[in-house]
Structure 1
Amino acid sequence: MVNWNNLDTLASFQTLTNVKEVDLKAAMTGESGADRVKRYSVPMAAGMAFNYAAKKVDDDVLEALAKLAEEAQLAEKYKELYNGAVINTGEKRLVLHQLTRGQLGEKVVADGVDKREFYVEQQKKFSEFAEKVHAGEIVNAAGEKFTTVVQIGIGGSDLGPRAMYLALENWAKKNDTLKMEAKFISNVDPDDAAAVLNSVDVAHSIFVLVSKSGTTLETLTNESFVKDALKNAGLDPAKHMIAVTSETSPLAKSADYLAAFFMDDYIGGRFSSTSAVGGAVLSLAFGPDVFAQFLEGAAEEDKLSMNENILENPEMLDALIGVYERNILGYQATAVLPYSQALSRFPAHLQQLDMESNGKSVNRFGEPVNYVTGPVIFGEPGTNGQHSFYQLLHQGTNIVPLQFVGFKNSQIGTDVVIEDSTSQQKLCANVAAQIVAFACGKEDENSNKNFEGGRPSSIIIGDQLDPKALGALLAHFENKIMFQGFLWNVNSFDQEGVQLGKVLAKRVLAHDTDGALKEYSDLLNI
């Protein structure tokens, strides 16, 4: 039987508070540091590895974390999730994003439908549609092939798919699989839509409208913006638009779209990159085979998340260390630092994925919790970040745990040699140096040049960022966040915190305001 208990009621958590804190600077210095780098590593899918040698853990901490995982029933709760239990207690829903990439356990039937078959059917539909577009079987009014795909969405309908596209764009160019350029419109700010529309040839563009309900205000506003642009160009919008929505939305069977592909309420927006939300645009951009490789990497990582041994489960271990840092060591934020320009928007995606999931102050039963939950997530790609906010990370008053991501080889495969090393070697040298600099620091009589060290980090290392590696990377963080939600006993799958502002915005637009809301509305000339 699975029990859902608050973190601070678990005996193993109380034990963890009494485990001696690791002196990271001492642990990472000399041969002991070299030994840790070799030992403290867990294999991931796609040939990657999660290395946590520079975290404040040792065998005693790891033993305590293993007991916490066992008492919190993390493996059992994951099994409940993929077998179709009602994990989203706030909205009384199943949580099924893993089913978009594979069947981990029992058949899941909801609303009288085998959900795995449903997701596979949708994947087949948007794959066949993409192939027809690429083959010139679906063309514009002039009989010409479409060359650009533009996704219209916001939040999870934008951040994940946009980050995944940018992550694979150069790889696809190098491997001759870039079928169509992709653009994204998300912000209701008209300058966003205008900038995108001015950068594309609308006559040769397909627009993907993503809205589960078919009523998302920002998305429908941007759809109108796009439709006006198409009409002004003498084009029929219905010949240029497809919808990704639910079967019950007003968009599902509308004649205003070339085709409609379906998602459901069991996949939250921030977890939807492996559903039709990401699948339609990524299949159009790169081809269905590339999207299938992306799903394969995610599925392989999901299987690793089933392991009860935390030393063989990179997601569960990452989650446990993160909770240790947050709830025992008292660290308030986590920086995500990919040393890959292709992952430039990956930290932004993780901001939503993590902070929208675990930014909660009540437990699964609506009761206030007496401990901190989700950290603040931020980040930028290296080496850019080094010349930006790393000053605070190295010498600021707050210690911020770091999650590096690095790859041995670039996506493009070509490089230049300057001062006896390539650009890729310089990139990798920087990430190696930063890990040791943060952990070990540097003593100096000049206090301005003194580095205390003791600043923890982990790194996910891979050979090259390709579709399979990207899928594994995405699943790693999705599952890490899920395990942390289980530990904190919060519902990681609703997002009531985004609703209040929407309600008040509608009041402003209806001129139903008073007090401060009216004054701010007047200041903005609404």
Structure 2
Amino acid sequence: MLNWNNLDTTRAFEELKKAEKVDLTKAMVGESGGERVRKYHVPMSAGLDYNFAAKNVDDNILEKLAALAEEQQLVDKYESLLNGDIINTGEKRHVLHQLTRGQLKGDVIADGVNKRAFYKEQQDHIAAFAKKVYSGEISNEKGEKFTEVVQIGIGGSDLGPRALYIALENWARAHQTLKMRARFISNVDPDDAAAVLNATDLAHALFIVVSKSGTTLETLTNETFVKNALTREGLNPAKHMLAVTSETSPLAKNEGYLAAFFMDDYIGGRYSSSSAVGGAVLSLAFGPEVFAEILDGMHEEDKLALNRNLLENPEMLDALIGVYERNVLGYQTTAVLPYSQALSRFPAHLQQLDMESGGKSVNRFGEPADYPTGPIIFGEPGTNGQHSFYQLLHQGKNIIPMQFVGFRSNQTGMDDVIEGSTSQEKLCANVAAQIVAFACGRDNENPNKRFSGNRPSSIITGDQLTPKSLGALLSHFENKVMFQGFTWNINSFDQEGVQLGKVLAKKVLAHETDGALAEYSKLLNV
């Protein structure tokens, strides 16, 4: 039987608070630091490895984190989720995103449907459609092949798929699997859609409208913007538009679309990249086989998250170290710092994944949580970030934990020896140096040149960013967020915080305003 308890009611948390703190300026110096780097890591799937040597933990704290995982029944709750129990208590729904990439437990039947079979059917439908596009069986009005695809969506319908596309675009070029160039329209700001359309060959482009309900204001506005542009070019929008939506939405089975691919209410937007939301655009762009590799990487990492041994479960370990930093050490923010330009939009996706899931002040029963929950997430690729906000990370008053990601090889094989080393070697040298600099600091008689150190970080390393390793990386963070939600006893799978602004915006557009809302509307000429 599962017990859903607040963090501050657990015995393990009380013991964790009493544990002696680890000072990285001592632990990471000299050979002892080298020993920590060799010792404190956990293998992931797809050749990745999670190293937490530069975190404020030792064997004693790890033992207490393991006790917390057991007391909060983290793996049991994950198994309950996989078995199809109602984990999303706010909306009284199953949570089934892991089921889109494979089956780890028994069949899940919802609404009279085998959900794994449903998700697989949609993937097969998308794959068959993509192959018809490549062959020219599905073509534009003149019988010419489509060469571009544009996704229209916002939030989870944009951030995850866009991040994954950008992550693999150069890899796909190098491996000759880039079938169609992809672009994305998300912001209701007309400049966003106009910029994309101006760079798109409309006659040879497919447009994917992604909206679960079929009523998302920003998405439908941008859809109409695109349809108007197609019409002005003498093109029939119905010959260029696809829909990813629920089976009950106005977009389903609609003659205005070449095809519709379906999702359901059991997968939140920020967890939907492995569903048709990401599957349609990524399969068209790279080929269904590449999308299948992403799913394989996610599935293998999902399996690791079932391991009850904390030191063999990288997701659960990363999650609990984050809880320790948030609730014992009092750190409010986490920086995500990929040393890979391909992951340039990954921090933006993780902002939504983490902050929409962990941004709760009540527990899963609607009762106040008397402790901090999700951290603030931000980030930028290295080495760009080093020349931006790293000054604050090194010498600011607030200590901000960091999560680095780095690869030993680039994606394209293009690299030259310049001044004695390759660009990739320079990149990797920088991330190694930053980790030690943050942890160890430096003393100096000049206060402006003094670094206090003891600033924690972890790093996920791998040989190369490939479809499979990208899938494993995404699964790692999805499952990390899930385990943190279980530990805090919050519902990580609803997002009521995004709704209030939408309601008020509709009132503004309907001119049903008064007070401050009316005055701000006038200020912006609405």
For normalisation by structure 1, the TM-score amounts to: 1.00
Per-residue CA distance 1:21-45 (angstroms, 9 max, x = gap): 0011100000110000000010001
CA distance in 2, matches of 1:43, 1:275: 26
SS of residue in 2 equivalent to 1:139: coil
Corresponding position of 2:77: 77
Deviation at 1:309, TM superposition (A): 0.5
Deviation at 1:416, TM superposition (A): 1.2
Corresponding position of 1:331: 331
Corresponding position of 2:319: 319
Deviation at 1:203, TM superposition (A): 0.3
SS of residue in 1 equivalent to 2:46: helix
Corresponding position of 1:474: 474
One-letter amino acid matched to 2:61: V
Corresponding position of 2:237: 237
CA distance in 2, matches of 1:405, 1:131: 34
One-letter amino acid matched to 2:33: G
CA distance in 1, matches of 2:328, 2:458: 18
Runs of 4+ in structure 1 displaced over 4 angstroms? Answer: none
Find out whether 1:226 has 2:226 as its counterpart.
yes
Find out whether 1:302 has 2:308 as its counterpart.
no
SS of residue in 2 equivalent to 1:45: coil
Deviation at 1:509, TM superposition (A): 0.3
Per-residue CA distance 1:364-401 (angstroms, 9 max, x = gap): 00001100000000000000000000000000000000
Paired residues, number = 526
Alignment of 1:309-458 (within 5 A): 309-458=309-458
CA distance in 2, matches of 1:310, 1:90: 29
SS of residue in 2 equivalent to 1:46: coil
Instruction: Report which stretch shifted further, 178-187 or 134-143.
Output: 134-143
Per-residue CA distance 1:279-338 (angstroms, 9 max, x = gap): 000000000000000000000000000000010000000000000000000000000000
SS of residue in 2 equivalent to 1:296: helix
CA distance in 2, matches of 1:241, 1:66: 50
Corresponding position of 1:262: 262
Alignment of 1:136-215 (within 5 A): 136-215=136-215
SS of residue in 2 equivalent to 1:289: helix
Gaps of 5+ in 1: none
Find out whether 1:32 has 2:32 as its counterpart.
yes
For normalisation by structure 2, the TM-score amounts to: 1.00
SS of residue in 2 equivalent to 1:22: coil
Deviation at 1:136, TM superposition (A): 1.1
SS of residue in 2 equivalent to 1:461: strand
Deviation at 1:419, TM superposition (A): 1.1
Identity within the alignment, %: 75
Deviation at 1:508, TM superposition (A): 0.3
SS of residue in 2 equivalent to 1:50: strand
One-letter amino acid matched to 1:479: N
Per-residue CA distance 1:326-363 (angstroms, 9 max, x = gap): 00000000000000000000000000000000100000
CA distance in 1, matches of 2:421, 2:368: 55
Deviation at 1:469, TM superposition (A): 0.3
CA distance in 2, matches of 1:26, 1:190: 54
CA distance in 2, matches of 1:354, 1:247: 28
Per-residue CA distance 1:428-475 (angstroms, 9 max, x = gap): 000000000000011100000000100000000010000000000000
Deviation at 1:106, TM superposition (A): 1.1
SS of residue in 2 equivalent to 1:162: helix
CA distance in 2, matches of 1:278, 1:123: 10
Corresponding position of 1:18: 18
CA distance in 2, matches of 1:134, 1:26: 59
Aligned Cα root-mean-square deviation (Å): 0.4
CA distance in 2, matches of 1:349, 1:288: 22
CA distance in 2, matches of 1:317, 1:326: 14
CA distance in 2, matches of 1:400, 1:523: 37
Gaps of 5+ in 2: none
SS of residue in 2 equivalent to 1:53: coil
CA distance in 1, matches of 2:510, 2:61: 56
One-letter amino acid matched to 1:35: E
CA distance in 1, matches of 2:84, 2:364: 17
